[in-house]
Amino acid sequence: MAAQVIDGKAFAAKLRERVGRQAAQFEQAAGRKAGLAVVLVGEDPASQVYVRSKHKATVAANMESFEHRLPADAGEAELLALVERLNADPAVDGILVQLPLPGHLDEQAVIAAISPDKDVDGFHVTNAGRLAVGQSGFVPCTPLGCMMLLTDRLGDLSGLEAVVIGRSNIVGKPMAQLLLDANATVTIAHSRTKDLPVVVRRADIVVAAVGRAEMVKAEWLKPQATVIDVGINRLPAEPGTDKGRLVGDVDYAGAQGVAAAITPVPGGVGPMTIAVLLRNTLVAAYRNEA
Ligand code: GUN
């Protein structure tokens, strides 16, 4: 039987609607809209697309969107001064500096400058630390979105074997923390893991976040596993086309014959990221008013 498709696009649309309704209630109660500031440095085409989608989704969810664009050669002092202004601005509940930054800027220094209470990306060390010790803070949007899809599908994750492939600060590490908090037995695999197929084979839950097209093969999966594919990779263009297909980190067609359920690419995890960002921004707004 073919795996069920986990429809992240539909789930995210429902979450955005719910957050939009709650944001309207916030506005009624607070006399102002919840506000998200997005900072884009330079003209990276993919980042421009993301920032535009975030702006549209923010406005559609009854929140204020503040966009700040700096030239690619902006200095670190200029960017840090902007972050400081946003930290001090009571109309701004959440701040997101779009990554990657141009190479001459120190990403860690910029993230460290964001007030942890406005860090709706959950990238600040204070929020990473809060997650690590089980205190409430902001959790990175992509792994939190993956958890929502998993708990919606599986309910209680207690005792399940989860394998996270990838150890980035943005996805792999926080994903593992969240699964651990949900009482899964968690393994983090990465580029140096020996015999990855054997490790993946024991997983009831596989979260693939490595950024390598179709790397996880169907034969590696335990029958009836639940597969969350965070990867978005563009294949080389086929002859006669100008753009290659988008694929995940998992061989989707093959995995469909083995897994119980799997997220598609596109339309799986991707749409969840912005929906969770809006949710985090509304949480920040309520905390700022409290
Ligand atoms: N670039 C790609 N994804 C993200 C994200 O979730 N947050 C930020 N700040 N930059 C990104």
In tens, the pLDDT along 66-117 reads: 999 999 999 999 999 999 999 999 999 999 999 999 999 999 999 999 999 9
Q: Tokens 């093959």 belong to which residue? A: 254
Structure token pair of residue 121 = 């990306």
Ligand 1 centroid from CA 123, angstroms: 10
User: Is 9 within the bounds of a domain?
Assistant: no
Residues 71 and 167 in one domain: no
User: Is 255 within the bounds of a domain?
Assistant: yes
Annotated binding residue 137: no
Q: Which residue among 98, 117, 119, 256 is the active-site one?
A: 98
156 a catalytic residue: no
Which of 47, 96, 277 has most ligand 1 atoms within 8 Å of CB, for mutation? 96
Q: Which residue among 22, 33, 54, 117 is the active-site one?
A: 54
Whether residue 280 has its Cβ less than 6 Å from ligand 1: no
User: Is 23 within the bounds of a domain?
Assistant: no
Annotated binding residue 244: no
Position 1 scores a pLDDT of 79
Structure token pair of residue 21 = 């309704």
Q: How many CA atoms lie within 13 A of 10 on its CB side?
A: 6
Which DSSP category does 116 fall into?
A: G
Residues 105 and 180 in one domain: no
> Do 16 and 44 meet the contact criterion of CB atoms below 8 Å apart?
no
User: Is 131 within the bounds of a domain?
Assistant: no
User: Is 163 within the bounds of a domain?
Assistant: yes
Q: What is the CATH number of the domain that holds 109?
A: 3.40.50.10860
Domain limit, last residue, from 121, 154, 173: 121
Instruction: From 286, 289, 290, select the one nearest 120 (Cα to Cα).
Output: 286
Residues 263 and 159 in one domain: yes
In tens, the pLDDT along 108-156 reads: 999 999 999 999 999 999 999 999 999 999 999 999 999 999 999 999 9
Count of domains for the chain:
2
Question: Is the pLDDT confidence value at 290 over 90?
Answer: no
Residues 146 and 101 in one domain: no
Residues 104 and 162 in one domain: no
Give me the domain span that covers residue 163: 141-270
User: Is 61 within the bounds of a domain?
Assistant: yes
Residues 265 and 152 in one domain: yes
The residue whose C-alpha atom lies closest to atom 1 belonging to ligand 1 is 99
User: Is 288 within the bounds of a domain?
Assistant: no
Residues 264 and 147 in one domain: yes
Residues 93 and 159 in one domain: no
Residues 109 and 145 in one domain: no
What is the reported pTM?
0.97
Residues 201 and 248 in one domain: yes
Q: β-strand 35-41 against 94-97: which pairing, if any? A: parallel
Q: How far apart are CA 218 and CA 289, in angstroms?
A: 49
Structure token pair of residue 215 = 């790397």
Angle between helices 8-30 and 270-289 (to 10 degrees): 20
106 a catalytic residue: no
Which residues on adjacent β-strands are paired with residue 161? Answer: 185
Residue type, 228: I
Q: What is the CATH number of the domain that holds 265?
A: 3.40.50.720
Length of the chain: 290
Q: How far apart are CA 72 and CA 209, in angstroms?
A: 28
In tens, the pLDDT along 248-267 reads: 999 999 999 999 999 999 99
115 to 97, 124, 126, 169, 171: CA distances (angstroms): 12, 8, 9, 18, 21
77 to 13, 74, 123: CA distances (angstroms): 38, 8, 20
User: Is 136 within the bounds of a domain?
Assistant: no
Q: Which residue among 119, 121, 229, 249 is the active-site one?
A: 121
Name the helix (H) or strand (E) containing 274: helix 270-289
Residues 163 and 239 in one domain: yes
Instruction: From 210, 134, 201, 130, select the one nearest 167 (Cα to Cα).
Output: 210
Domain limit, last residue, from 91, 121, 151: 121
Annotated binding residue 168: yes
Interface pTM (ipTM) of the complex? 0.95
DSSP string, 5-56: E--HHHHHHHHHHHHHHHHHHHHHHHSS--EEEEEEES--HHHHHHHHHHHH
Percent of the chain surpassing pLDDT 70: 100
Whether residue 98 has its Cβ less than 6 Å from ligand 1: yes
Annotated binding residue 167: yes
DSSP string, 216-251: B-GGGSPTT-EEEE---EEPPPPTT-SSPPEE-SB-
Q: β-strand 205-208 against 226-229: which pairing, if any? A: parallel
Residues 159 and 111 in one domain: no
121 a catalytic residue: yes
